[in-house]
A and B are shown apart, each in its own frame.
Chain A
Amino acid sequence: MEIFDIFLLEAVLNGILLGGLLALLSLGLNLIFGVIDVVWICYAEMIMIGMYAVYTLHVQYHWPLLAAMAAGIASVALLGALMHQFVIRPVLSAEPINQLLVTGGVLFFLQAAATLAFGIEFKNLGVKLPPVAIGEMSFSFPRIIAFAVAVAGVAATYLFLTRSYLGTAIRAISQDREIMPLMGVSPGRIFVATSALGGALAGLSGCLLVLQYDIHPAIGLSFGPITFLICVLGGLGNMLGGLIAAFIFAQFISVGGFVFAIEWGYVIAFVFFIAVMFWRPQGILGGK
């Protein structure tokens, strides 16, 4: 029984580590939806671009890893701004289904572009970090880094949104975008800034994932659906709800996977998701 307990504790702790990463994944998507009211179906593919950017700069051009990551974050931030300017802006007042389809188109475009540029082989950084042992428990070092950075990223985003002018304007515009111009704010600029921030968060997620996983053009499909489910579970556009949902989901995956089998963790998490959708279709903290 004692052995069981310590491994259960390990599963719970691993769930917390995973939760931090999932929270970061959902944050950018939630931010963009909350402010611009458009769902970027291609969000996970932007994360993939970030992973490839880090890989290319570090492995092929031999940049120091941290510099490659900084450049990776910056390039996905730029991609986010371009995404808004050239893809979202023209359909901003269109039907939601059209907006969804357009971002879905970007998903396939990015997948195909990555396939052309990098081929379908799995790539990795070749960075091997040893696991960390605490007593009889062992934790993946990249996962601990990912957790710490993700928490820092979420905290930084929170501070930015609450303490800076641009952040205050972003929160304001998410509540009433029509009235903002009367206070001299051009919504277009705030939307581009929000998209760039969402992109930067995707880039940061990419930096953390590339430490743990191999990169391939379809890797977005591994993270995309779960990112959406977390956003919807928390209440789409509600960032706090997204954080809570991320940790709940991670526990189901981690502890469920420990008690039964790895694959069952996901099954249980998705069943939980479906059950919550019957009970609260708007999500845990969603309004309306």
Chain B
Amino acid sequence: MREVLEVNGLSKRFGGFTAVSEVSFKLQEGEILGLIGPNGSGKSTTFNLIAGLHAPSGGSVRLHGEEIGGLAPAAICHRGIARTFQIPRPFRKLSLLENVAIAAFYGQDQKVSREKAYADAADALGLVQLPGGPDARVDGLGAAGLKKLELARALATQPKVLLADESLGGLDHAEMEQAADMLAMIRREKGITIIWVEHIMGVLMRVVDRCIVLDHGEVIAQGKPAEVAHDPKVIEVYLGTDAAEVQQTVADRAA
């Protein structure tokens, strides 16, 4: 397997507060990596550093061996990294198709024609199975629909790496399962490598190949779901009383 992304010693300080401290990991082509941790552990900040929304205070981010740390977000998007947000941020006054078409038109590596951008946008909407047709308005969408739109917008930029800030709060159990299956399907259909941020661990554990656990901006554990779910440190700071349930999920998956 080829290495897609290499994050090395990545740090971010806001004044005296260190939000992300010396985070390092590698991402293999086609894998789904779970990035988990309690609220405020630096998951979203790590995403923002990789996507270029924050400039790193230290460390490097390499995409296929090329340094991208500190580039402008638009440039990083063109290189092939797309990010979704935990709280969907659609353009409410644009149609669904327009929302996605903007990403398809401006976000791809090369110049694309209007027709291709709209075709790519329609593809992305189809892939996430967004109901209501392309002329539908954003206002008709519920929480699950908005998450799908967010995902379609990211996919329309034709990314190599998708940073999915899912944090499935606001979805019911069936919708969560659907969202997890969708990420697995995106990897399968498009061969996109995915980093998935989530704090409901049971759902995530069903799908990811590996996990990284953050706490106070530091990596406290990484490895296969089974290893992480039994890691005493992870149980102490994060899983707590849910540990048994998460371990069961992992065991079910193996079975």
Cβ < 8 Å to B, chain A residues 163-207? 165, 168-169, 171-172, 175-176, 178-186
For the residues of B in contact with A, the DSSP-based class is helix
Interface size, B (range): 20 to 34
- The chain A residue sitting closest to B85, CB to CB, is A179
Asked if A172 contacts B102 (CB within 8 A), the reply is: yes
Asked if B91 contacts A181 (CB within 8 A), the reply is: no
For the residues of A in contact with B, the DSSP-based class is helix
Asked if A186 contacts B74 (CB within 8 A), the reply is: yes
- Taking the complex as formed, is B238 at the interface, i.e. its CB lies under 8 A from any CB of chain A? no
Cβ < 8 Å to A, chain B residues 157-209? 157
Contact string, B62-75, partner A, CB cutoff 8 A, digits 1/0? 00000000001110
How many A-B residue contacts, CB cutoff 8 Å? 66
Asked if B153 contacts A171 (CB within 8 A), the reply is: no
Asked if A182 contacts B94 (CB within 8 A), the reply is: no
Contact of B117 among A165, A176, A178 (CB under 8 A): A165
Given contacts A165-B117, A168-B102, A172-B102, contact A181 B77 (CB under 8 A): yes
Given contacts A181-B77, A182-B73, A185-B74, contact A175 B102 (CB under 8 A): no
Given contacts A181-B73, A183-B103, A184-B78, contact A175 B92 (CB under 8 A): yes
Asked if A184 contacts B157 (CB within 8 A), the reply is: yes
Q: Which chain A residues lie closer than 8 Å to B114 at the CB level?
A: 165
- The chain A residue sitting closest to B73, CB to CB, is A181
- The chain B residue sitting closest to A184, CB to CB, is B107
CA distance A169 to B102 in the complex (A): 7
Asked if B157 contacts A172 (CB within 8 A), the reply is: no
CA distance A178 to B87 in the complex (A): 14
Contact of A169 among B53, B82, B93, B106 (CB under 8 A): B106
Given contacts A168-B94, A169-B102, A172-B94, contact A182 B72 (CB under 8 A): no
Contact of A183 among B53, B72, B77 (CB under 8 A): B77
Asked if A183 contacts B85 (CB within 8 A), the reply is: no
- 27 CB contacts below 8 A, A to B, read A165-B105, A165-B114, A165-B117, A168-B94, A169-B102, A169-B105, A169-B106, A172-B94, A172-B98, A172-B102, A175-B92, A175-B93, A179-B89, A180-B74, A181-B52, A181-B53, A181-B77, A182-B82, A183-B77, A183-B103, A183-B153, A184-B78, A184-B103, A184-B157, A185-B74, A185-B107, A186-B74
**The 5 A-B residue pairs with the shortest CB-CB distance in the complex, in nearest-first order:** A181-B73, A184-B107, A183-B103, A184-B77, A184-B106
A: which residues have CB within 8 A of B?
165, 168-169, 171-172, 175-176, 178-186
